[in-house]
Each structure stands twice: as structure tokens, then as C-alpha cells.
Chains A and B, each alone.
Chain A
């Protein structure tokens, strides 16, 4: 086998190996540069269009869930799960010590089915206490009925605090 072919193959192999590494890093680039890289351009393009005709049909098409200003994720801000986020996609989120909860609370002051957070028909997120022993607090008040969550309001369960964010 000629020297030239082998040299080309040697360098080619290194190039292919590095190409794999680079493609891999591309796949996870959202980890490195935050999560909004692709959405940012889409939003900018959207913002350039006149805002008025956009809102109504979109709301109708998506069942009103993704309306402007609606929270997109749930963030745990205090407690042992600090930093955990869950994307809000119209599904019900359960909180409690039970192993099958969406967010499993490792907290002696939480009940196994403690509370749930779900969207109503207008896309407004509601928090409901599921008969817990120590209660669920929205800001400072203990919940008695399903209550809409104002943006940025902390929900406290035992030592865990969660918030809905955009």
C-alpha cells in the first residue's frame, strides 16, 4: 500500500473522529449556550410582524395554552431539588413523596400526594392542594381551593419552594 494512501487515511481518520466529536457537541449545544438559541431568532422574526393579527388565531389553534406571557416552566427554587425545572406543556404536574409523582419531594413535611398543578381550559395554571397534612402555601396564604397561580408567586410545600417562570 502506498505511503500516500496511508497518510491520507491516517489524517482522514483523525478528521472523521474529530468530526464525530464536533457533531456530538452540536447536538448538546443547548446545554452550553442556554436553551433559547433557536427560539430567539423565531421570536425576533415574529416581533417584526405586526402583532395585532397574530394573537387571536394562534390562541384558537393551540387551545389558548401557549398565550403570550404564559409560564413555560416550573422551577424549584428552594429545597433539596433546587434548580430542577419541568417544562409546562399542558400536562398535570403532581408533587409529593410518592415515587410516581412528577416531582418527588424528599421532605418529611410533604404528604405522598401533596398538591398538583394543572392548566384549566384557558391555559391558566392552577395549583390545588390534595388534602395534604401540612398544607400548600401560595405566597403566605394556605390553599383551601384550587387557585390560579400569579406569575412569579412562590408555592411552598414543606421546605421546597417552586415558581412558574416564562
Chain B
């Protein structure tokens, strides 16, 4: 009897485990200790391989990472006791491994000769700032539903952030894509922050409009075709991402925003036709822009013919200017199944952006296919926890917000990993948590904090309700 009952239960669409609902904070603590020890091990490994001795700063860095993780854990225990137990450890591990890999590339003489400065201490500072923002979000955002009030404000803020870099003067450090704002020696990437803010807008907007988008449609050849006027929002977002592509020549950001919107539209309306429309529009838009934008065309050439860079100058296809893509492929190839070992690869041959966009190539060479799979699985697990949170959320806004944030994260990982491995054209985006880049690491910590807040609300046993006098008006059914 018990067996049949159990199988019957797994068949239903259960979303959160019944009974008990342990807070699982101790699981989180154990995983967190594990997640701090692995980067320390990696750090020792790099030091031994490069200099033949334990690195001097090992105790300091290890304790620093451990301290940040410990404070984060205590705050989660205090302010979000029912939050998901895995997101914080996975984020800590990825951030720690990223720090080790950046430190390892700092040791490379080849990169130092190119003029790349030491990046690890800065990245550690950015990580600390990121964790500080993570703590601030958990402490001050008592309920994610508060964000719903700022639906249209966040649209305006996100548009300003997205448009800002286009109006700043281009500097030689822009590297083709205009996505930075510079203040002296200091630069930020506002598109990264816009990622979270625009998700809030999409979630609030789609929650209100989804019935119109889902129900008012004609059926044609097995597909639900939306009415012309309901295409409005998707056209606006599409136009926006095309404008980003044209004026900031940034394929990654444009792909991320449009993809995220299509995913959220699909989740909100359950209509497959939106995905089809989205894919067609994205492909059409990118192909259109590539016809006149040299930077985008160069990226596509580097994707289709990465090895042609080694041809003599006059036989190279037009627009191919860098051997990064080829070197990244060499790195993955020479890594093989088990990798060359930390600190023993030559991924520094990639040169420019080895520590940021191409950090995954270092993983591929020094940890091999085995390590790359593990890292990608960790990203996958983090996304899975986010989608799980969306399933468990009991309010539509929280569901859409969690789906939007995790799909933004997933799309970013896909766009970067796919670009570095040559699956899709390379776009200037950073691997979340691992790659060098302050804006990225700060944003992703905030993103994880919001997901933790939603999962805390979703798993928390319900409190007694307080009746409110200002009840909303309700529509009356007329017979």
C-alpha cells in the first residue's frame, strides 16, 4: 500500500516537499565549508605548480573567503531562515574558483608583458562588495513582493542604464563594444545592473497583462497566433535589443534581454508560438545588423573561420582581427579529458580578455573536460534551484521574477560558454561569478540574494493573516 501511494504522489505535480519543511541551514553551513575548502585547495595547487611552494597569501585569502562566506551564512540564518540551502554554497564556490583562476593568470609572465595588471586583489574587493550587496538585499528586502510596486520605475531606470553607455565618449578601452561607463581609471558596466532591474519590470508587467496575451489569439496550423496589437510589447523589446546592438554593438546584452523576455513571456502565457516568434525575430535581427555593422560581422567571421587568422595577411577573411577564438579552441583541445593541472596550462596565450571573457578556456585547459563538466553542472544546479524556487513560489509575481532571474543567469552562462567554445558567435559577456569584472560579480550576488529571498518566502510556513481595512474592489459576476 505504501509503495503505490508513494508512486501516486510522485506522479502528481508536487512542488515542495510535504511535512516538516526543515530550514536546512545546517546543510548550507556544511556545504559552505566544503565550498571554501575547494578554492583553498586549488590555490595551493596553483602555487605548488608554478613556484614549487605554498603561496604566501594562502592563509589570508582562505580566511578572507571563509569570513565572507561565514558572515553571509549568519545573515541568511537570521534573515532568510527558510531559504534554499544550495545557492549560497554554489555561488561561493564559483566565486572562489574564479579568484584562484584570475590569480593564476596574474602569475603568467606572458600576460604581464602585455601590460595586464594584477587583477586578483581587485576582484577580491569586488567580491567582498558583491557579498555586502547580497547581505544588504537580504536584510532590507523583507519581501520580494515589495518590488512589484516599482514595476514602471524599474523600466525607466533599466532603459536609462542600458542607453547610458551609448552617450559616453568612446575610449580606446572599449574594445569594440560600447558597454562601459568610465570615471577616470574606474569603469562600470551598467548593462549588468539593468539585467536585474528589467526583470522586475518584465515580471510586474507580464503578471498584469498575461491573460490578454494568452487568451486573445487565433489558432492557425496548430499554433496560437497572437493578435496584432498584442505583439506590441515583444516588438518594443525586440526594437530595444536591436538598438543596443546597433549603437553599443554588444551582441551579448541584446541577446540576453530579448531571450529573457521571450522566456518570461512563454512562462507567463504557456504559448509555444512566442518562442517561435522570438527565435525568428532574434535570428532575423542579428542577420540584419550583421550586414552593416563591421564589429558584429567580425565576430561572426571569427566564429565561422577561427583558424583563418593564421593565414597570410591578404588571405584572411575581412573583419577577422584576433586569434583569441583559435587560442581558446587550442586551450580546450590541449586540456583533453583530465586537463593539464592547475597552473600548468598555456591558456595565457589567449592574451587579451583571458581573465574575463575567456576564463572558461583556462578551466578547459587546466581542469580538462572533467572539470569543465563539473563547473557547467554547478551553473546548471544554481539555475535549477532558481527554477525550483519559481515553482514553489505562491504568488505570480514571485514566480515570474524567479524564472526571469534564473533564465537571465542561464542565458548568460550559455552565451559565454557557447561563445568561448565556438558554438555561437562570441559576445563580450562575463562568466557569472568566475570572470574578472566588478559589475558582473556584484550583480550576480544581488541576483542570488533576490532568489534566496523568494525561496525563503516560498518555503516559510505561513504566518497568521492580519485583516486589512482597505480591501480592494472585486469584480462582480453578473448572471
Chain A interface residues (CB < 8 Å from chain B): 1, 5-7, 9-14, 16-18, 20-21, 23-25, 27-28, 30-31, 33-36, 39-40, 43-44, 47, 72-73, 75, 80-89, 91-94, 97-104, 106, 108-113, 116, 130, 132-134, 165-166
Contact = CB atoms under 8 A, between A and B. Distances in A.
Contacts of B207: 106
Given A13-B45, A30-B17, A86-B462, A110 B339 contact: no
10 contacts: A9-B44, A9-B48, A18-B374, A27-B24, A36-B5, A47-B1, A84-B391, A84-B394, A102-B465, A113-B465
Nearest to B149: A99
* List of 10 A-B pairs having minimum Cβ-Cβ separation, nearest first: A34-B10, A104-B395, A10-B341, A102-B462, A133-B474, A83-B13, A35-B17, A94-B465, A106-B396, A36-B6
A85 B374 contact: no
Contacts of A33: 10
A92 B464 contact: yes
Given A14-B368, A16-B41, A102-B394, A85 B16 contact: yes
A91 B462 contact: yes
Given A34-B9, A94-B462, 13 more contacts: A9-B49, A9-B341, A13-B42, A14-B367, A17-B374, A23-B34, A27-B31, A34-B10, A36-B10, A85-B13, A86-B16, A87-B20, A106-B207
A17 B472 contact: no
Counting chain A CB atoms within 10 Å of each CB, the highest count among B24, B41, B471, B475 belongs to B471
Given A13-B45, A109-B474, A112-B468, A99 B395 contact: yes
A93 to B, nearest CB: 6
Contacts of B74: none
B280 interface: no
B378 A21 contact: yes
Contacts, number: 210
Interface string B85-128: 11001100100000000000000000000000000000000000
Nearest to B380: A21
Contacts of B371: 13-14, 17
Counting chain A CB atoms within 10 Å of each CB, the highest count among B3, B13, B392 belongs to B13
Interface in B199-244: 207, 210
Nearest to A104: B395
Contact of B14 (A14, A23, A27, A35): A35
Counting chain A CB atoms within 10 Å of each CB, the highest count among B18, B38, B148, B342 belongs to B18
Nearest to A37: B6
B21 interface: yes
B26 to A, nearest CB: 11
Contacts of A130: 467
Contact of A134 (B378, B399, B476): B476
A80 B24 CA distance: 29
Nearest to B89: A24
A89 B14 contact: no
A25 B374 CA distance: 12
A3 to B, nearest CB: 10
A76 B16 CA distance: 12
A83 B391 contact: yes
A104 B461 CA distance: 15
A131 to B, nearest CB: 9
A18 B381 CA distance: 13
B370 A111 contact: no
B184 interface: no
A100 B465 contact: yes
A91 to B, nearest CB: 5
A133 B477 CA distance: 9
A10 B394 contact: no
Contacts of A21: 374, 377-378, 381
B331 to A, nearest CB: 16
B426 interface: no
B12 interface: yes
Given A14-B374, A91-B462, A6 B85 contact: no
Contacts of A25: 381
Counting chain B CB atoms within 10 Å of each CB, the highest count among A34, A36, A109 belongs to A36
A85 B18 contact: yes
Contacts of B2: 40, 43-44, 47
Contact of B338 (A14, A84, A101): A14
A132 B342 contact: no
Given A14-B338, A89-B21, A101 B465 contact: yes
Contact of A1 (B48, B475, B476, B477): B48
Contact of A7 (B15, B341, B468): B341
B243 to A, nearest CB: 32
A38 to B, nearest CB: 9
